[in-house]
Amino acid sequence: DIVLTQSPLSLPVTPGEPASISCRSTQSLLHSSGYNYLDWYVQKPGQSPQLLIYLGSYRASGVPDRFSGSGSGTDFTLKISKVEAEDVGIYYCMQALPTQVFTFGQGTKLDIK
Amino acid sequence: QVQLQESGPGLVKPSQTLSLTCSVSGDSIRSGTFYWNWIRRSAGKGLEWIGRIYATGTTNYNPSLKTRVTISLDTSKNQFALSLRSVTAADTAVYYCARLYASDNDVTYYYGMDVWGQGTTVAVSS
């Protein structure tokens, strides 16, 4: 199986400051179609996970533009330009390469300083 | 607005079968536009994808669970179901159903798991 490693695992952030989470894969997630099959999800306290980014860099519907995804192949990053209190939660990357088993990273817990 | 709702027993005895249902409202599971997934979150392992089913009935399972898992459609009730056999304490988790907006080959179009249920907690204990 493809293994995803996130860092850091804990991320305390001051409101208004930027935040960045890394996700590294043991195999390239770049498909022959030209798309990177890497998604980002956040699970806020007491809620189910929700989609932030799909195919590496495409924001899901309704996601604020302070969230952005980048990267290709095996190295990906989720960036929050200015963290708000409502962004507290656990952030997961997930790989969804066609014909592979979907796998998630361990999760990064973001909280407010 | 599409909504998913998990239901099923909150407590299952070891060696028995865990059975959960996900009711879909606001869309038809026969539409052929989505995969219907089961994911779980346990204290020890984080999020784990269990498997998925397409409108055609095609299934894909996590190999680590494949020998114990069946995912099925009930189009008459607009539901899909999870059956996990021979459970142990390691299967204690919050179980989520989710819609994956993707074509059957994941390539023609892919938009991620865009709708999730609220989750249901299942404990395995005697």
Furthest-apart CA atoms within chain B: distance in Å: 46
State residue A100's pLDDT score.
81
State residue B107's pLDDT score.
78
Residues of B in contact with A53 (CB under 8 A): 112
State residue B46's pLDDT score.
87
State residue B64's pLDDT score.
93
Q: Average pLDDT for residues B26-52, to the nearest whole number? A: 91
- Partner-chain contact A55 B112, CB within 8 Å: yes
Instruction: Tell me which residues of chain B, numbers 11 to 40, contact chain A at a CB-CB cutoff of 8 Å.
Output: 39
State residue A48's pLDDT score.
96
- Backbone phi, then psi, for B91, in 5-degree steps? -90, 0
Closest to B51 (Cα-Cα) out of A22, A101, A15, A53: A101
Residues of A in contact with B34 (CB under 8 A): none
DSSP A85: G
Interface mutation vs chain B, best among A59, A102, A109, most B CBs within 10 Å: A102
Residue A27, judged by CB atoms within 10 A of its CB (0-12, 13-18, 19+), counts as: middle
Interface mutation vs chain A, best among B6, B36, B37, B47, most A CBs within 10 Å: B47
Compute the mean pLDDT over every residue in chain B, rounded to the nearest whole number: 94
A8: preceding bond cis by omega (within 30 degrees): yes
- Partner-chain contact A49 B116, CB within 8 Å: yes
Q: What is the pLDDT along chain A (113 residues), one digit of tens a residue?
A: 899 999 999 999 999 999 999 999 999 999 999 999 999 999 999 999 999 999 999 999 999 999 999 999 999 999 999 999 999 999 999 999 987 899 999 999 999 99
- Partner-chain contact B112 A104, CB within 8 Å: no
- Partner-chain contact B112 A48, CB within 8 Å: no
Q: Does A72 lie at the interface with B, CB-CB under 8 angstroms?
A: no
Closest to A78 (Cα-Cα) out of A49, A112, A51: A51
**pLDDT surpassing 90 at residue B59:** yes
Specify the 3-state DSSP secondary structure of B89. helix
